[in-house]
Structure 1
Amino acid sequence: MRLENITIGQVLLQRLKTMADENAFEYRDAFYTWRDLDELSDVFAVKLLKCGIKYDTHVAIWGGNTPNWIITYVALAKIGAVSVLINPRYKEEELAKTFEYSDVEYVCYGDCCSNSKNIIDHLNDRNIGKVKEYMYMGKNEHYREGRAQILKNLNPSDMENLKKAENKVTPQHIASIVFTSGTTSFPKGVMLTHYQLVNISREAVEQMKWETGDRMCMSVPLFHCFGLSTGFLASLRVGFCIYLLPELHTSCILKCIHKYKITILNGVPTIFLALLSNPERRKYDLSSLKSGIIAGSKVFKEDYLKICKELKFKKLQQSYGQTETSPCVTFNGYDDSMNIKCISVGKVIPNVKIKIVSTKDGHDLGPYESGEILVKGFNVMKGYYKCTRQNCEKVKDGWLYTGDIGYVDNCENLYITGRKKDIIIRSGENISPVEIEEAILRYPGVLQVKVFGIPVPVVQEEIAACIVAENGKLDVDGLVRYLKKHIADYKVPKYIYIFKKFPMNLNGKVNVKQLKKEVQWKVSKEEDYDFNRTASTD
């Protein structure tokens, strides 16, 4: 595939030439055409310019999968502002840290939760970092009301200023800062260009053979690189319609597939496994499903085969990547056998290289030799924002050190066998144990803490926290309440165990392997496994 040197805004112009009045996306039974997206993003872009937002201004988008998220994203891309994509489940302290770190000057927010407005008001009172203004993105159901009059009110000078701003944007300009947890205590901002996002989305379309007549259910969040690149931007590339969900629950996904005859469903393994577990699944007609990407975390062979069989997927392709690679690195071949698809993440995409190196001395390894996966190509990030040391460690001579462990076979198929650092992956979310440990250590009475993931059904990993407390006692319910005030709910450990002391290695470090064994044994004894439970005590 020949790489294209164009911007996100220019891709939209291409779409308007032939499909201006075709549906681009749907939300709550309301459809928006490509012309709607262009005009509404023009209106918002003019508003942004008048507020002082310009080329290279950092603007956060804090909201769920809604039309206004997409409109805001495109408006920012048009004028060359850098969109800083924020998890809608973040709470006040997480938002404050993220805004400060990423030098956000403006925040576009939606109705993320019941108290979104209160959170924004508190942040506004605190004068966070460089933030100048918080801008409400509006109620999606009423966004188009009065649009014709608004368009008439846009005077020639407004449109001229918008055109000047658009002409300044280049493909090599940073389009977005997307966050990845990695293994540090605070998420790092990955800088991705228009060029990278545009070409990765195009590659996904090519690999998956998606067409104009396809219909995609957006079951992954847009603030994730997965949802952005292989979801919305892929639809922008080829022109198929995407269907946005009010909530990312399996019941909503099933209804959407049934009602709109969805042909494409992307997701992390957890989503597909949860669909299989939904007791109402057989009430819905899912026969329209044709293809999809399963990625974000490891899928076991048995689970992959079960998903394909039960959901009758014709082409469910594994893909490997990271936020740092925009995110795609490999895809299963479209016509690969099921024997390969169920165990391999496929071959490297065009214009990208991979190699496997020894974790001990860094020398190149051959087929079937397991080591760290390195990636080089157009998709590799421009770097972590304001993280000079981490950038030097992560990218060397153009090679991205992924931290993932794997090997290739004689046919150059890649297999993932583990990860260098113990990131917890729960429902496709990368979660830093260190961040949770730091939060727990701030709670009175905690002396030591160790956090890690343990394998469980459906969500793949649950978070377990092992704590050494003063006098061997701790108010676990109080700790949970405390954590829910300071970190997102999905980061709160499901299992909390109190220890008198931790098992130690001869070198004086905590014996994590032994600790995990003890926790897994404790969990196995809890026969009434309940996915809504928050914590268990020893």
Structure 2
Amino acid sequence: MNRNDPPSHDDAAALEVASIPALVMAAAERFAGTPALEAPGRRIDYAELPEAALAVTRALMTHGIDKGDRVAIWAPNDIDWVLAALGIHLAGAVLVPLNTRMKGGEAEDILARSGARLLFSVGDFLGVDYPAMLDGRWPQSLETLVVIGEDVAEARPGVRSLAAFLAEGEAVDEAAARARAASVGPEDLSDLLFTSGTTGRPKGVMSGHGQNLRAFAEYVRVIGLGRGDRYLIVNPFFHAFGYKAGWLSCLLAGATILPQTTFDADAVLARIARDRISVLPGPPTLYLSLLAHPRLAEADLSSLRVAVTGAATIPPVLIERMRDELGFAVVTTAYGLTECGGLATICDPADAAETIATTSGTPIAGTELAILDEAGQALPAGETGEICLRGFHVMQGYFENPAATAEAIDAAGWLHTGDVGRCDAAGNLQITDRLKDMYIVGGFNCYPAEIEAILATHPDIAQSAVIGVPDPRQGEVGCAYVVPRAGRALNEAGLIAWARDQMANYKVPRHVRLMEALPVNAANKVDKAQLRGAFEAG
């Protein structure tokens, strides 16, 4: 089959299985002879996938990991990330991905609150020693740290190289590991993705195996993903876009997973040509960067077929340029949030560019969408209200947080997203606003309350308020309005430098404005609308 052509009907049909372990076994049989994972110098066939994943499972069992235990991964996109995740799933444990941009304190918080017993971590990434960031921050629950990608001096108790860890797993019979994998059912938790939701402190969203597989089988169907497709996954694996719409969807369809560690336009253009990439989802900034590349006209993009985007307002001309200049036959947009597994609505790729750019499509099969007013009453087409979702893919709840769960999911089963939108006459969702304060930096959700809580730890800051402001490259960035403590001196460059040491880079405010006092409304709350107006006025 020419990789430019869409897969056949049989190839494009997603596997129907009850759990991710069952998916691994079924994919090995159905897609044998096709690479499942591929990177420079390394390739794993679908037929080899169960043994590679079970090696991780056996090692986890050696370390006493039981069904339901939480196991975290803190590493960039890599073949070993996928194998570790599958090994966790086959062990019946719960995957807890950590954002690679987190600092030590942020990672410690999630590891501690999830009760993670074991952590897979990269050693050095982009000049940062990840295990060292946990020095003095080792959570009480954490028993073992496995370092991916390099040999390590196992100087402290609990630290293992990946090779040593896998060797320890040889003490567990493969049959026992297969029996553990076979015991995992559709209702069992597969992952715990931490998200700030509508408030500042991240909460663990509980999703089950069956929910994920059903939702992304529909995703596979809509975009026509199939055996023979080669999917370059730039979206980070710690996010649902890179994990569930990424490598998990590939396993459902028999596509080849090609992890990309970081986004670099030169590297991505080279890989498209060299590796004959056919599927390349990402935020709008990814496509804008490729379109702006000075050597775009020289690049071989003939293999490209499928693009999926979202996360920001998209001009219709971008959809047209993605089709005309990048050569995508399939371009679509989707909407979802972690609390619904990452996918709720998606556009039909056959829709007009205007529809794909200005809407997020219609609900996937099995999902109900309602626009509700403040009284909880459904609004007709064309009227604006809160976007609410109900269906099989709504989270099982926030981990060990029933109060927050009750706030998010009402008695009728509606998930209140906090996003504002309306439906057009054809039932397409149009998002007119986001959460009251949330903004998106290069595809990453930023929640001012979380950033303000970190700024509050600065010894010279009395008060702060963070808003999202327009940025030509990232779409939006943060602007921090800061009131210094009496008698203290602050400056913009120094505060930004401090913030870079305290929080993930995308959360760092790109602008700082020093003020004597923050504006407040009648309820004595900070008037962020006034701050937005002040920024726009310069």
Normalised by the length of structure 2, the TM-score is 0.90
- Quote the Cα distance in structure 2 between the aligned partners of 1:146 and 1:177: 26
Task: Output the CA distance in 2 between the equivalents of 1:280 and 1:497.
Answer: 38
Shift of 1:40: 1.5
Q: Following the alignment from structure 1 to structure 2, what is the Cα–Cα distance between the partners of residues 5 and 242?
A: 20
Matched, 1:478 2:489: no
**Residue 494 of structure 1 aligns with which residue?**
510
Cα shift at 1:453: 0.5
Q: Paired residue for 1:84?
A: 96
**1:337 aligned to 2:378?**
no
Match of 2:306 among 283, 291, 306: 291
State whether residues 273 and 307 of structure 1, in contact with CA within 8 Å, keep that contact through their aligned partners in structure 2. Answer: no
Q: Distance in 2 between matches of 1:297 and 1:178?
A: 21
Native 8 Å contact 1:367 1:410 kept in 2: yes
Q: Which sections of structure 1, spanning at least 5 residues, go unmatched?
A: 523-538
Deviation at 1:223, TM superposition (A): 1.0
TM superposition shift of 1:439: 1.5
Say if 2:385 and 2:421, in contact at 8 Å, map to a contact too: yes
Q: Which amino acid aligns with 2:69?
A: T
Cα distance between partner residues in 2 of 1:71 and 1:473: 50
Does structure 2 conserve the Cα–Cα contact (< 8 Å) formed by 1:245 and 1:252? no
The CA distance in 2 between the partners of 1:219 and 1:330, in whole Å, is 22
Q: Is the CA contact 1:27–1:67 (under 8 Å) kept in the aligned structure 2?
A: yes
Contact 2:200 2:450 in 1 (8 A): yes
Please name the residue that 2:531 is paired with.
515
Q: For the Cα contact (< 8 Å) 2:285–2:474, is it kept in 1?
A: yes
Which residue is equivalent to 1:437? 452
> Against the structure 1 CA distance between its residues 365 and 112, is the aligned structure 2 distance closer, same or farther, given a 3 Å change threshold?
farther
Give the Å deviation of 1:401: 0.7
Contact 1:265 1:292 in 2 (8 A): yes
Determine if contact 1:64/1:112 at 8 Å carries over to the other structure: no
Aligned to 1:457: 472
Counterpart code for 1:460: G
The code of the aligned residue for 2:139 comes to I
Shift in Å, 1:113: 2.3
What's the CA shift string for 1:266-290, capped at 9, x where partnerless?
1112222222233333331123211
- Residue type of the alignment partner of 2:514: I
Partner of 1:72: 84
Greater shift after overlay, 261-270 or 463-472?
463-472
Aligned partner of residue 325 in structure 2, secondary structure: helix
Deviation of 1:489 after TM superposition, in Å, equals 1.6
Flag the 1:106–1:286 CA change in 2: closer, same or farther, 3 A.
same
- Residues 53-452 of structure 1: matches in 2 within 5 Å? 53-111=65-123, 113=125, 117=129, 119-121=130-132, 123=134, 125-139=136-150, 154=170, 158-358=173-373, 360-396=374-410, 397-452=412-467
Distance change in 2, residues 1:124/1:104 (3 Å): farther
Deviations 1:401-449 (A, max 9, x none): 1111111122111111112421121111011111111111221221221
Equivalent residue of 1:342, what SS? Answer: helix
How many angstroms apart in 2 are the aligned matches of 1:182 and 1:422?
Answer: 11
SS in 1 for 2:210: helix
Q: Secondary structure, in 3 states, of the residue corresponding to 2:67? A: coil
- List alignment gaps of at least 5 residues for structure 2: 1-12, 152-161
- Of stretches 449-458 and 274-283 in structure 1, the one that deviates more from structure 2 is 274-283
Structure 1 Cα separation of the partners of residues 445 and 435 of structure 2? 14
Structure 1 residues 507, 290: closer, same or farther in 2, change over 3 A? same
Q: Please report how far the alpha carbon of residue 390 of structure 1 lies from its aligned counterpart in structure 2 after TM superposition.
A: 1.1
Q: How far apart are 1:72 and its partner, in Å?
A: 0.3
Question: Which amino acid counterpart does residue 140 of structure 2 have in structure 1?
Answer: G
Structure 1 residue 302: Cα displacement: 4.1
1:310-352 residue CA offsets vs partner (Å, 9 max, x unmatched): 3232211011111111111111113222232221111111111
Question: 1:42 corresponds to which letter in structure 2?
Answer: L
Amino acid at match of 1:519: F
| Residues 160/25 of structure 1: CA separation in 2 closer, same or farther (3 Å cut) | closer
- Could you tell me how far 1:240 is from its partner in structure 2? 1.1
TM-score by length of 1: 0.90
User: 1: CA distance between counterparts of 2:115 and 2:82?
Assistant: 22
CA distance in 2, matches of 1:146, 1:173: 29
Distance 1:510 1:125 in 2: 36
Q: Distance in 2 between matches of 1:52 and 1:433?
A: 39
Task: Tell me the CA shift for residue 26 of structure 1.
Answer: 1.5
Q: SS of 1:514's equivalent?
A: helix
Q: Which amino acid aligns with 1:504?
A: V
C-alpha separation between the residues in 2 aligned to 1:250 and 1:279? 10
Q: Which moved more, 1:72-81 or 1:241-250?
A: 241-250
Instruction: Summarize deviations over 1:442-498 as a string: whole Å, max 9, x none.
Output: 212212211011112131101110111235841333322322222112211111111
Letter of the 2:470 counterpart: P
Matched, 1:12 2:24: yes
Q: How has the CA–CA distance of structure 1 residues 315 and 112 changed in structure 2, closer, same or farther, with 3 Å as cutoff?
A: farther
- Retained in 1: the 8 A contact 2:59–2:170? no
Asked if the contact 1:289–1:312 (Cα under 8 Å) also holds between the matched residues in 2, the reply is: yes
| Counterpart code for 1:425 | I
CA offset at residue 122 of structure 1? 5.6
Q: Please give the secondary structure, in 2, of the residue aligned with 1:386.
A: coil
User: Structure 1 pair 2/68, CA: closer, same or farther in 2 (3 Å)?
Assistant: closer
Which amino acid in structure 2 is aligned with residue 244 of structure 1? P
Q: Percent identity?
A: 28
Inter-partner Cα distance in structure 1 for 2:133 and 2:523: 46
Helix, strand or coil: the match of 2:358?
coil
Indicate the SS of the match to 1:176: strand
